[in-house]
Amino acid sequence: MKIRRGALLAITVLSNMILTGALRADEGAEIAAFAASSAWLSLVDEGNYVESWNQASGLFKAAVANDQWQQLLKAVRVPLGKVRTRKLTLRQYTRTLPGVPDGEYVVIQYETQFEKKQSAVETITPMLDKDGKWRVSGYYIK
C-alpha cells in the first residue's frame, strides 16, 4: 500500500510540475499578447485606423484591406463615441480557433461602456505572427 501511495504521490507531484510549467508558458504568452493588443486598441480608440491596420497581423491584413478596415471602423466605432470604461473579462491562450490556421492565439474580451452604448463586449484576438511578434488578428464588438 505504501509503495502505491508513494508512486501515486510522485506521479501527482510530477504531473503538477509539468502542468504548472505549461501554465506559466501560456501565461507568459497571454501577458505578451495582452500588452501588444492593448497598444493596438489604443490606436483604435484614438481613431488612428490606418496605423492599427499597419500594426495588425499578416492574417488580418490578408482578410481586410486597409481602406475597408477604415470604413468598417468609421461605420462601427465612431457612432459609439469614446470609451468610458473597459473591464477585462477573459484572457485565454489557445492554439486553435474556428476559421483560421492553427497557431498561437490569445482571446481577450472586455465589458466596455461607450459614450453612446452602455454595454458592449469587445473581443480582440492577438496571434503570434510569423515574425515572432504578437499582433492583432481579429477585433469584434457586440
Q: What distance in Å separates the CA atoms of residue 142 and residue 132, rounded to the nearest whole number?
A: 30
Asked if residue 113 lies in contact with residue 122, where contact means CB atoms within 8 angstroms, the answer is no
Predicted pLDDT at 15: 42
**Structural domains of the chain sorted by starting position, each given as residue range(s) with its CATH number in brackets:** 2-141 (3.10.450.100)
Walk along the chain (142 residues) in steps of 10 and give the mean pLDDT of each run: 45 44 70 96 97 97 97 96 97 94 96 97 97 96 96
What residues contact residue 60 under an 8 Å CB cut-off, 6+ apart?
A: 53, 135, 136, 137, 138
Predicted pLDDT at 25: 62
Predicted pLDDT at 26: 78
Predicted pLDDT at 18: 43
Predicted pLDDT at 16: 46
